[in-house]
Amino acid sequence: CSKNFLAIDPETTANSDNFYKNQEEVEQAVNGAYNILQDLGRLHLWLYGEMRSDNTTFQYNNQDRGLETREFIDQFLVDASAEPIRQFWQLSYQGITRTNDVLARLDEVEMTDEKRAQYRGEVLFLRAFHYFNLVRQYGGVPLRLAPVESPDSALSKGRAPVEEVYNQIVSDLSSAADNLSNATISSAEKGRVTEGAARTLLAKVYLTLKKYDEAIDQLRKVSTMGYSLVTNYADNFSPEKKNGAESIFEIQYLGSQPSLSSNFMYQFAPYTSGSVVTQDPNTNLGGSAGWNIPTQDMIDAYEEGDKRKASSLAEGFTNSSGTFVAVPYVKKYNFGFVEPGQTDVNFPVLRYADVLLMLAECLNEKGFAANGEAFNLVNNIRERAGLKPLEARDINGQDRFREAVFQERRVELAFENHRWYDLLRTGKAVEIMNAHGAREKDGSLTIPTNAYQVTNNRLLLPIPQREINLDNLEQNPQ
């Protein structure tokens, strides 16, 4: 009797003693691993992937200074204690832990080999996704490949070398792709990781590592998987056309559920725009709006007649008293709301246009071919945008073509969190960001005078001070 009297399990949550017992519960754990993408997508992916770059900045909010550390990320003034730096690290490792939890228990639970392979592939992709973000933002990071089972093993073995992290990413993605090769994802489950997603991300990793042959190999495989460019560029972002033919992987949101909905339209609207941008009079735009504001340089990057410009950004808004206010904003994710403050928009991570551009870039790196396959790949995209094709008489060499792809990526993939990483892997970040800083500071009354002092060291985020203290990690030189 006494044993039962004292054996009380929580009623409102499961616990690890009674969970992971069947396939259904394993699937729930896999879904739980995806869940963290939503939080990462809502803020961190664009904060570090886009706003830190020359594409966007923020609208200075003189009424609400509470998110100043977020501004410091844009301005290269951030220090190791800043809240967003810590959160990004925390969420990424939460995501990694969830994948490790699945991997550690997968073999003990009864299910078909196909399902087991599929789950393994999905979480390996997710683990690689997090490590790829971490290694590009922080450099070498602790490698956690198994769940922590007790407080004794809470400390890590320290920061793994960058190369080791990349080896793990490549291994995870290769394995993910193999495991997913037989998976069939029903339309009711669209949004799960597929073989195509794993190979695309693997190609991106190879490209980052400048392993062009390996990248080409993966990209070629992806190009046979049935993906295609959709006719209308804006359809890629419309909640009506989620997970379309061009989509390879996107973060799924559900507008009807408060905790699963997205809110990009609100965050990216000028905070002074009231409801004229969002058309939602019941959601107040305070300090959580006015972010990821396109720079003039970004606006100018679109060629005359580029159809993508109008569906990607607006150069200002007409306020309720009829005055045009020239605060630009990202429009790509404005498709209305489901409930006040809740939108149904997904966020693209990998799409086929990226595959084409990556392939073009790799081919060019292997050797310039006037009007060759690489030209065709880029021109497919330019054609959809209503632009004239690139031709070898203008783009007359490898360097020129490299520049053209770089420019094409900027506008095609604008505000999709690729820019910062493109700056990094092409080695142009320091030059471009200092030039961007000079433009931004010119005439500004709000940007601190010591902002945008971009050096090679400052391309990496500082390791969160909390982790330095608790885990004895070495800080990045600043």
- Out of 112, 231, 323, 449, name the contact with other proteins by CB under 8 A: 449
Q: Which of residues 25-44 bind other proteins (CB under 8 A)?
A: 25, 28-38
R_g of the chain computed on alpha carbons: 23
Token pair belonging to 317 = 């808004």
Does 431 interact with other proteins (rule: CB under 8 A)? no
Least Å from the CB of residue 89 to other proteins: 6
Does 15 interact with other proteins (rule: CB under 8 A)? yes
CB-CB neighbours of 244 under 10 Å:
20
Partnered with residue 329 across adjacent β-strands are 314
Least Å from the CB of residue 460 to other proteins: 15
Judge whether 152 and 146 are in contact, CB under 8 Å.
no
Q: Which stretch binds other proteins (CB under 8 A): 17-25, 310-318, 361-369, 378-386?
A: 17-25
- For 159, what's the count of Cα atoms within 13 Å in the CB-facing half-sphere? 19
Report the C-alpha dihedral over residues 122, 170, 97, 264, rounded to 10 degrees: -70
Q: How far is CA 141 from the centre of its chain?
A: 19
Considering the complex, state which of residue 191 and residue 328 has its C-beta at the smaller distance from other proteins: 191
- Out of 167, 171, 282, 407, name the contact with other proteins by CB under 8 A: 282
Considering the complex, state which of residue 84 and residue 294 has its C-beta at the smaller distance from other proteins: 84
Judge whether 200 and 350 are in contact, CB under 8 Å.
yes
Does 14 interact with other proteins (rule: CB under 8 A)? yes
**Burial class of 254 by CB neighbour count within 10 A (0 to 12, 13 to 18, 19+):** middle
Token pair belonging to 273 = 């725009």
Q: Which of residues 51-70 bind other proteins (CB under 8 A)?
A: 62-66, 68-69
Considering the complex, state which of residue 83 and residue 394 has its C-beta at the smaller distance from other proteins: 83
Considering the complex, state which of residue 221 and residue 441 has its C-beta at the smaller distance from other proteins: 441
Least Å from the CB of residue 28 to other proteins: 4
Long-range pairs of 158-162 with CB within 8 A, sequence gap ≥ 24:
158/471, 158/472, 158/473, 158/474, 159/463, 159/473, 159/474, 162/135
- Out of 42, 127, 144, 436, name the contact with other proteins by CB under 8 A: 144
Q: Which stretch binds other proteins (CB under 8 A): 8-16, 226-234, 328-336, 348-356?
A: 8-16
H helices present in 323-397, as ranges: 352-366, 373-384
- What secondary structure does DSSP assign to 408-434, as a single string? HHHHHTTTTT-HHHHHHHTT-HHHHHH
Does 142 interact with other proteins (rule: CB under 8 A)? yes
Considering the complex, state which of residue 67 and residue 209 has its C-beta at the smaller distance from other proteins: 67
Considering the complex, state which of residue 86 and residue 211 has its C-beta at the smaller distance from other proteins: 86
Does 321 interact with other proteins (rule: CB under 8 A)? no
Q: Which amino acid type is present at position 409?
A: R
- For 311, what's the count of Cα atoms within 13 Å in the CB-facing half-sphere? 18
- The SS3 call for residue 443 is coil
Least Å from the CB of residue 367 to other proteins: 42
Least Å from the CB of residue 449 to other proteins: 7
- Which positions from 192 to 221 touch other proteins by CB under 8 A, shown as an x/- string? x-----------------------------
Does 323 interact with other proteins (rule: CB under 8 A)? no
DSSP character for 239? G
Does 77 interact with other proteins (rule: CB under 8 A)? yes
Rounded CA-CA distance 7/10 in Å is: 10
Residue found by looking up tokens 């009231």 in the block: 274
- Out of 167, 450, 455, 457, name the contact with other proteins by CB under 8 A: 450
Q: Which amino acid type is present at position 244?
A: G
Considering the complex, state which of residue 254 and residue 392 has its C-beta at the smaller distance from other proteins: 254
- Which positions from 150 to 179 touch other proteins by CB under 8 A, shown as an x/- string? xx-xxxx-----------------------
